[in-house]
Structure formats: C-alpha cells, structure tokens
Structure 1
Amino acid sequence: MGRQATDDWMSMDDLELAVLLLNSVDLLEDPADRMAHDLRWWRRALRRNGHAALARTQREADRRGLLELRAIIRSVFETSSEARARTLLNDGLASAGAVVQVTPAGLGVGGGLAARLLYAVAQLVAEGGVARLGICASDPCRCAYVDRTRGGTRRYCCTLCNDRAAARAYRQRKGQS
C-alpha cells in the first residue's frame, strides 16, 4: 500500500528531524556539540533514522546554515512566550525562503531543509502552543523533546534522564529522613 496524500504531509518525521538536529548538542557527551567540526554525526544520524537520501545531500558547506537553524529552533523550544515563538518561526521561515511557490529542483537543499523543519515546529506551535516543546529538566542535560503525553506533563528527554532524576530525588529524601 502506498503512502496516502493527507493534509499533514510533513507527518511527525520533520518534527523528529528538528529534535534530532537540536540534540546534536548533548552536554552528557564529549564533545558536547557533535557538529562542531563536521557533519559526519548528522549524516550518520539521518541514515540511522531512515533519511539516507537526505543524508547524501548534506554537504560541509551546509554546516553553518544547520548550526544557525539549530539555534533558531532551540530558541523556540526554550521560550514560554507564544508571541516570541511566532516571531522566531516567522523570521526563520522567511530567511529560509519558505514561501509557497514552485522552484527549479537545482536550487539546493539548505533552505529546503530549514523550511521543512521550521514549518514542522511552527505547525506544532500553531496547534498546541509552546507548552509541548521542552528542554530536559535533568541537569546538565539540555536535550530537546516534544511532549506527546495526553496531559502535557513530560519533563525529561528520555527514560535515562527521568530515571536519574528519580534516583536523585530518592537519595535526597532518604538523606533527609
């Protein structure tokens, strides 16, 4: 069965790509910025996550743009202001040339990827607000996540950070009793 055309053409894939890009900085790893010097980590991560065709299009010349895109998206994830998120997203989409028009395929993918990822985050903000975007509450982790829980209560990027925080809280409670 082929892929159905729907209104949500971007599905969650582009939103997950945006989170993957944000999490190319992981303060629990060494080096923390996995894209500081080249795009090898990014290309591997794309391939591992089912985006081999996109990985083949990524060039070292695109790295600076990806780092700028990462900074914009991180700012959206870190803000609690709907107005600030809208401004960041609108400015980012405009600088990515994200206007609806048909263009020749040979224009490159840098702006196209930026537009896709920014659009995915913008769509989530428009539908659910910035409350569904988060940065891990476990110190020193600063990984991003999208809260897909029913109650919007997620605080950690992964089970490991959640478990570490629970263990830390348990040790503190035991030490106080």
Structure 2
Amino acid sequence: MLFTHDTTAALVAAVALVNSAEEPDTLTDRAQLDAFFAEHGYTGSRTHDAAELEAVRAVRAPLRRLLTSDRDTAVTIVNDILAGHHVVPQLVRHDGFDYHLHATDPGTPLADRIAVETAMAMVDVIRADELSRLSVCADDTCGGLVLDLSRNRSRRYCSTACGNRIAVAAYRARRN
C-alpha cells in the first residue's frame, strides 16, 4: 500500500471532485452532492442547501491548483489551507476504520472539510515526494486529473472512456 487508507480516500475524493468540473459538469445539484458525499465516505454535519453545493463547487478550482502544482507550490498551498482553517489534527476511530487523522470538527462546513482533508493527504504525498502520482489526463481533449496508485505508475487517463477514445483513434489511424 502506497498511502494510508485515509490519505488514499481523500486523494480519490479530491480528484473526483476536481474532475466533476469537466464537461459535462457532474456536480450541479444537491442530489449529486449527496451522492458524492456518500460515495467518498465523508462524515460530519451537512446543511443540504444550495449554499453548501456552491461552496463545494467553489473548492474545485483551488484543489485543482493544489493537485497539479510543483512540490514547493503545493507546500505553500497546503500550509495556507491548514493555517487558514486552524487545523488541530486528532486521531479518531469510526465506521469500522482504525485510528486515522481528522483535522476538523464534524460541524465544520463540508467544503472546508474537503479542503482540509485534501491538504492533509497532500502532506503525505509531499513528504513521500510522490507528486508524480498526480497528473493531467493524457487525452489532449480532456483536462481531467489522474491519480495513479498503480505499482508501475502506468495510469495515464482519468477514466476508461478517455483511454478507450484514444485507443480507438489510434486503431483507426493505423487502419488508414
């Protein structure tokens, strides 16, 4: 295992959130936010209102900047997020998971929890000097992010759809 479960889960969620801004936008209503929340195992309070949706949508661009930055820039962004949210990491156990870090109170707004959890995950990525695990999709028509947790670092596309589209295009080019 490359990273701890909570680090991996936060990175997967952050990449999914950032990629939700790609066309077509897949985070346009509260039901989609509810599905995102459930799929990625977030805990804590929710307001379930339009303001919460807009706050989560607004965190996508800063997270994209963090996830695509060079190491020194990523450190600055992480430190700014952690300082700005007055983070006090604590070890907690819940929902069948052994001790892991939570850095915000469960009552903290969801968008803030997402930003802080992503920043905490990036602490591990930066310390392990593994920023190369994060990249932009190799499909030139796509701006999606790729989180490569494979052993041989072979993941190049943000989704199967992008990989298949490139493979079909290459096949057709060979046939012509």
- TM-score range with shorter-chain normalisation? 0.7 to 0.9
Q: Hey, what does 2:86 align to over in structure 1?
A: 97
**1:147 to partner: Cα distance:** 0.6
- After superposition, the Cα gap between the structure-2 partners of 1:70 and 1:96, relative to the gap in structure 1 and judged at 3 Å, is farther
**1:117 to partner: Cα distance:** 2.1
**1:110 to partner: Cα distance:** 4.0
Asked if 1:145 is matched to 2:146, the reply is: yes
1:1-177 to 2 correspondence within 5 Å?
A: 8=4, 10-27=6-23, 32-36=24-28, 38-47=29-38, 49=39, 51=41, 56-79=46-69, 81-100=70-89, 106-175=107-176
**1:97 to partner: Cα distance:** 3.0
For residues 40-73 of structure 1, the C-alpha deviation after alignment (integer angstroms, 9 at most, x for no partner) is 31212322x1637558555432334323321121
Partner Cα distance (1:97, 1:154) in 2 = 35
For residues 136-172 of structure 1, the C-alpha deviation after alignment (integer angstroms, 9 at most, x for no partner) is 1213222222111223232101222112111212222
TM-score, L = length of structure 1: 0.72
Partner Cα distance (1:82, 1:104) in 2 = 28
Q: Report SS of the residue matched to 2:112.
A: helix
Structure 1: runs of 5+ lacking an equivalent: 1-6
Structure number with higher relative contact order (C-alpha < 8 Å, ≥ 6 residues apart) = 2
- After superposition, the Cα gap between the structure-2 partners of 1:73 and 1:126, relative to the gap in structure 1 and judged at 3 Å, is farther
Structure with higher strand content? 2
Structure 2: runs of 5+ lacking an equivalent: 91-102
- After superposition, the Cα gap between the structure-2 partners of 1:69 and 1:126, relative to the gap in structure 1 and judged at 3 Å, is farther
Q: Report SS of the residue matched to 1:12.
A: helix
